[in-house]
Amino acid sequence: MKNIFEFNKQRSIDGNIEGAFYFVKRHFKPMFRILWKYNSSIIIFFLMSYFLYFYKYFGFFNMFGAGKANQFNDNDLIYLFAVGGLMLISSILFFPRFYASIFGYVRAYDENNGIVEDEKVHHYIKTKFWGFLGVSILGGILITIGFLIFIIPGIYFIVPVSIAYGVYFFEDLGPAESISKSLNYVKGNWWASMMTLFLMGIIVALIGAVFNAPVQIYILIKGILIEKEMNAALQTGDIVVSFMSVVAVIAQYMLKTLSMLSIVLIYFNLREKMTKEGALHKIDQIGKTNE
C-alpha cells in the first residue's frame, strides 16, 4: 500500500518543519519537473535577466574598486536601470507561477491520494496567477501600513499574510477574503505559526549562505586583485561571478520550496484546529471500513 503523506492534520512546530523537509525530499524531482515543464520559457527569461543585471552590476562594483567611478556615463546608468527593470518584470512573471506550481502539486497530490496529474497542476498554474499577485499586493500594503503605524502590527501581519497564500489556493477564495480568513486562523495560534516561519527562515538562510559563500569569496579576491594590479580587464563585468550569482539564485528558489511547504503545513494545521476536517474524515473512513 502506498504511503500517503497526510496534510490535513494538526502538527507541532517541529512537526511542520520536519514534514516540509520530508515532503520536499520525496517529491523534489517531480515537483521541479512539472515546474520546468510548464514554465521553462519564463524560467529562462528570469535567469537571463538576472545574469545581465549581475554582469553590469559587478562591472560597476569593479570600477568603484579601481577608483574609476568618474568614468561612468549616462548610458551605463540607463543600461543598469534597464536590466534592473527587466529583472523586476521577470520576477513578477515568475513568482506567481513558481508558487502555483508548488502549491498546485501539493493540492493535486492531496486531492488524488498521492497521484499527481501534470495537467491538474497546469490548470492551477493558469488559473491562480493573478490571485497570487493580488494576495502579494494586498498583503504587502497591509504589512507596510502596519510598520508605518507601529512596528508590532507590521510584524503581526507577516504571519496571516503568509498563511493567506494557502487560504487563497486551497479554499478558492479571493485575495481580500483569503487575508481576512487567515486573520481568523491565526487568532490564538500566532506565536506557534510565527516560530515555525522564523525557524524555517533561519534554516533556509543558513543553507543558502553555503551557495552564496563562493560568490562572496570570489568578489573579495577579485577586489584585492583590482586594487593591487589595476588591471583594466579586471574592471569590466565578470561572466564568472555573474554565473555563480545566478546559480546562487537558483539554489535560493529551490530552498524557498521548504518555506512554501512550511506555509502549506501551517495552513492545514490551523484549518484542522478550526474545522476538524481531517479527524472527521478518518472517523468516516473507519465507519465505512466496518460496514
pLDDT given at position 55: 82
pLDDT digits (tens, 9 = 90+) for 71-130: 556 676 787 788 889 989 999 999 999 999 999 999 999 999 899 999 999 999 999 999
Q: Tell me the C-alpha distance between 166 and 178, whole Å.
A: 8
pLDDT given at position 278: 54
pLDDT digits (tens, 9 = 90+) for 132-184: 999 999 999 999 999 998 888 999 999 999 999 999 999 999 999 999 999 99
Sequence-distant (≥ 6) Cβ neighbours of residue 50 within 8 angstroms: 87, 90, 245, 246, 249
Tell me if 263 sits within 8 A of 163, measured CB to CB: yes
Q: Is the pLDDT of residue 30 over 90?
A: yes
Kindly state the helix (H) or strand (E) to which residue 90 belongs, with its residue range: helix 74-111
